[in-house]
């Protein structure tokens, strides 16, 4: 004999629990605080990027930085290099991953933040 869902529930053969537990972002950040600190580098792991050989490499021309912002932009780039987010290259490279556009964001405290575009 084949029973339907509603009949099986009426005969107390099955029961449904419609309980949904929602976590707030704040509770997750509090519970897993170590995961939300720093820049989140994956260390001690080997990563292999599979790049299609038939795709043409892309390197975009950099955007000009306003003269009065250059010292602050250079300081921010040094910080990113020391944090191992970016690395300096001395010659041409076929790929500039993620695009080479640099956008400066002016904050209220005259701090310059570099971000990808």
User: What pLDDT sits at residue 47?
Assistant: 82
List pLDDT tens digits, range 33-57.
888 887 777 778 888 888 888 988 8
CA 1 to chain CA centroid, Å, is 54
Q: Other C-beta atoms within 10 Å of 77: how many?
A: 16
Instruction: Tell me how many degrees the CA angle 76-63-72 measures, rounded to the nearest 5.
Output: 25
pLDDT for the residue 28: 85
Convert the pLDDT of each residue in 58-112 to its tens digit.
Answer: 777 777 778 888 888 888 889 888 988 888 888 777 766 554 566 666 666 656 6
Structure-block tokens of residue 35? 């995961």
Q: What's the farthest any 2 CA atoms get from each other in the chain?
A: 82
pLDDT score for 97: 56
Q: Where are the domains of the chain?
A: 5-116
């Amino acid at each position: 004999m084949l029973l339907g869902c509603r009949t099986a529930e009426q005969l107390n053969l099955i029961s449904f629990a419609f309980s949904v537990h929602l976590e707030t972002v704040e509770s997750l950040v509090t519970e897993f605080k170590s995961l939300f600190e720093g820049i989140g580098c994956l260390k001690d792991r080997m990563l292999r990027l599979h790049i299609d050989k038939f795709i043409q490499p892309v390197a975009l021309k950099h955007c000009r930085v306003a003269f009065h912002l250059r010292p602050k932009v250079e300081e921010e780039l040094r910080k990113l290099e020391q944090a191992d987010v970016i690395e300096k290259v001395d010659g041409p490279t076929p790929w500039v991953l993620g695009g080479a556009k640099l956008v400066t964001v002016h904050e209220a405290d005259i701090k310059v933040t570099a971000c990808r575009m």
